[in-house]
Amino acid sequence: MCGIVGYTGDEQAAPILLDGLAKLEYRGYDSAGIAVFDGEKINMAKAAGRLKVLSELTHDGKELPGFIGIGHTRWATHGAPSDTNAHPHCNKDQSIVVVHNGIIENYLKLRRKLESKGYEFQSETDTEVLAHLLDYYYTGEPVSTIIKVMHRVEGSYALGILFEKHPGEMYAVRKDSPLIVGKAQSGNLIASDVPAVLKYTREVCFIENEEIVKLTGNEMHFYNVDEEEITKEFQTIAWDVSAAEKGGYEHFMLKEMYEQPKAVGDTLSPRIKGNRIVIEELGMSDEEIRAIRKIYIIACGSAFHSGMTNKYVFEGLARIPVEVDLASEFRYRDPIFEPNTLVIIVSQSGETADSLAALREAKAHGVPVLGIVNVVGSSIAREADHVMYTWAGPEIAVATTKAYSTQLIAQYLLALKFAQVRATVSDEELEEMIQDLKQLPDQIEMLLNNKEKIQHFANRYIAARDVFFIGRGIDYAISMEGSLKLKEISYIHSEAYAAGELKHGTISLIEDGTLVAAVLTQESLYKKMISNIEEVRTRGAFVLAVTNVGNHEVEKTADYVIYIPKTNRYFTNSLAIIPLQLFGYYVAIGKGCDVDKPRNLAKSVTVE
């Protein structure tokens, strides 16, 4: 949520800021602004709406000359989207300018204090408090001023700051909101995420909590909260610029769906050695794995759905009890941590606020934490005891596709590794499952290449008001993800239900013409699912079924059937999700929705 970009160097700053912000559009936003120091004063331009409005307002940045500046895309929390509420925010004489990602929890108290001192506020935002606080505590030394403000502020923040009295210098600080520093040939940058700087550099470092950075065009200095200078290590990001571009596809979401075979292969291949699962980065000995008696999988959104799937996989293969929790609920329910428990945190960005809080709760109780993340060097990756990367590459569309698919794969591999060590599957079973895993990329590609059938079907349901997804066991987990894909990009009301619960209330919502998507990939549950399909059809539903090749019995009850290739019953979600992703995409396209940037949503949820 919200995006920050800053630049200082030898080139005009405004075009670089606008370009960097464009690479952060996937995070979700409703207004944008930039501030550039022209050598005499700091000039600002802000606009509600899409970034192109700001680009047009500034003639692609030409109206704001200068070699140092900060930019921001805002996702509204305090105050409606407007030019006034857009960032950057400043003190009265515009000599201190700040951009902010996060939430200042005690901003009302601080605002009242500042108003009592004569400060006047122009916006409804919590961020404007920071600009006036920086003014109030300004000592002539930016670092000591920032530290004084840090001591007064409660909440989360990543800040980019310009002081007019310190030309050529840009300052940044973070607490619980992501921030990186990039080192380029033409200057230095700050940003909320890697894609914003890839065009200029692959050399980045990740700022830790309560660390402050001072940047000039050719120097970097890092400080801790005691104003002591510290040393930071840079790392090389392997992603290239093209990975964050559309590459000829109409939308990032479509491009990323078609990248799933490669992403799944990239996540699989380093961890399969012959007929064994080898996860070198896991950092857990066989003795530690055998000692595990309970697993928590904690996540949000689609990552939570991947955990729901893998509850069945872990329990079925490794015979370990698994509890799957929404991170936002887990952090407040005073969880019981028993001995020999492992906590697995799943997150695409590695910055999800609730998931980070759950991680810290577990570590505070001495429980080992494994992070499954996509972004190298992210907060969850750094703070977890062990980390397993999904290698999906940059994912720009807000609605996840390839990151979700690689989360499934990472957890399959982990479950098989545990089963291998604990000897809960035979060598023959393990070998068969590894072969099934190796086939998944080609099977996913085959489903993607047969998209026309899904596209044709989706065109019939552009005007749908309600869609229901049903399944049992693993198929219920995939129904949850299919339902989420549809609702978040098409804005059609959609719900997923465990099929066995239909008669406990849900079936009353079925009426003539209601679309019900039924997922049945678990052979042992075919008959029960067919009975559920008959129940909704007799009440007027039109049924789309997603099932395995060879299950022709379903054709007698469903109205429309999509077949997926045969694979191990634990891995079917990796295939069943593909037609559901395509269905949601083509319905949204038919309605004219912005599939890459759906309304009110953000890619990386770094605040509660």
Catalytic amino acids? Answer: 2, 603
Q: Residue 363 and residue 119: Cα distance in Å, rounded? A: 42
Read off φ and ψ for residue 315, nearest 5 degrees: -65, -35
Structure tokens at 560: 């429309």
SS (H, E, C) 3-16: EEEEEEECCCHHHH
Amino acid found at 146:
I
384 near 239, Cβ under 8 Å?
no
Structure tokens at 17: 């800021």
Which of helix, strand or coil describes residue 434? helix
CA terminus-to-terminus distance, the chain: 10
Q: List b or e across 348-374, with b for residues whose CB sees 16 or more CB atoms inside 10 angstroms.
A: bbbbbbbbbbbbebbeeeebbbbbbbb
Q: Residue 142 and residue 216: Cα distance in Å, rounded? A: 13
Could you tell me which of 224, 220, 226 has the C-alpha nearest to residue 204? 220
The DSSP code for 226 is: T
The DSSP code for 67 is: S
Q: Residue 71 and residue 117: Cα distance in Å, rounded? A: 29
Q: Which residues contact 592 (CB under 8 A, 6 or more apart)?
A: none
389 near 381, Cβ under 8 Å?
yes
Could you tell me which of 253, 247, 240, 252 has the C-alpha nearest to residue 197? 240
Q: Residue 39 and residue 88: Cα distance in Å, rounded? A: 18
Which of helix, strand or coil describes residue 122? coil
Q: Which residues contact 456 (CB under 8 A, 6 or more apart)?
A: none
How far CA 522 is from CA of 115, 526, 548, 555, 576, in Å, comes to 63, 7, 9, 16, 11
Could you tell me which of 415, 450, 475, 516 has the C-alpha nearest to residue 257? 450
Could you tell me which of 543, 546, 547, 525 has the C-alpha nearest to residue 534? 543
CA 459 to chain centre: 29
Per-position DSSP letters for 373-413, written without gaps between them: ESSTT-HHHHHSSEEEE-------SSS-SHHHHHHHHHHHH
Q: Residue 300 and residue 484: Cα distance in Å, rounded? A: 12
Q: Residue 454 and residue 98: Cα distance in Å, rounded? A: 47
Which of helix, strand or coil describes residue 260? helix
Which of helix, strand or coil describes residue 372? strand
How far CA 36 is from CA of 6, 16, 43, 87, 262, in Å, comes to 10, 11, 5, 13, 41
Query: What are the respective helix, strand and coil percentages of the chain, to the nearest 5?
Result: 40, 25, 35
